[in-house]
Amino acid sequence: MKQIQFIFLLIAASIFVTSCSKDEAGNPMNPDDGGGTEITGEIWNGGNLTFKKEDGADPGLEANQDRITDNVWITRGTDGGQIFNIKNESSSSKSTSPTDTEWALGKTTNLANLSFDNFRNTIKPKDIEGKDLVVHLITDDIYIDIKFSSWSESKEGGFEYTRSTK
């Protein structure tokens, strides 16, 4: 009798684990279950990394850039502007910076339900501290959770955030 109970328990556990796991592509949702758009990019959900650029620090120096991938290097100038991708831009633009990225309010655990836009249309920098955001690195097709813990409102260019890693 104990063997039958054990086998039944093993089968039940196996069914539970299979039903709770991601689909074969590792996507956060399966479009066959009535959900929204299938996400094909990579979701970075490894450990967290904190990046900080001090007020007045030179954005041209590597130490003041979060070099997330070969295509996206996030920093902020000392002119009071927003963040930008110094790999492709020499300064920030309210309508396009940071280039090669798109942003959404939320977390990667709810990726299929998020709406992505440029940084400035997604959130005003003065309101950014403590908000859960997702940044999509377009060329690399990577989704990253990110939360800003500070944003200098002076024209010093300081900011700090914590983001997920690979």
Reported as a single tens digit per residue, the pLDDT across 52-97 is 999 999 999 999 999 999 999 999 999 878 999 999 999 999 999 9
Residue 164 has pLDDT above 90, yes or no: yes
In sequence order, what DSSP letters do the residues of 69-103 get, joined into one string? SSS-EEEE-SSS--EEETTT-SS--TTTPSTTEEE
Cα(159)–Cα(146) distance, rounded to whole angstroms? Answer: 13
User: Per-domain residue ranges for the chain?
Assistant: 38-164
Secondary structure (H, E, C), 3-61: HHHHHHHHHHHHHHHHHHCCCCCCCCCCHHHCCCCCCCCEEECCCEEEEEECCCCCCCC
Q: Which of 142, 106, 136 lies closest to 118, judged by CA? A: 136
Residues 29 and 22: beta-carbon distance below 8 Å: no
Residues 101 and 137: beta-carbon distance below 8 Å: yes
Residue 118 has pLDDT above 70, yes or no: yes
Q: What is the pLDDT of residue 80?
A: 79
Q: What is the pLDDT of residue 2?
A: 53
pTM of the complete model: 0.77
Banded pLDDT at 3 (limits 50, 70, 90):
low
Sign (positive/negative) of CA torsion 151, 77, 100, 117? positive
Give residue-wise pLDDT tens across range 17-48. Answer: 344 444 433 444 444 444 445 678 999 999 99
Kindly list the distances between the CA atom of residue 91 and the CA atoms of 26, 29, 139, 154, in Å, as whole numbers in the listed order: 36, 37, 20, 17
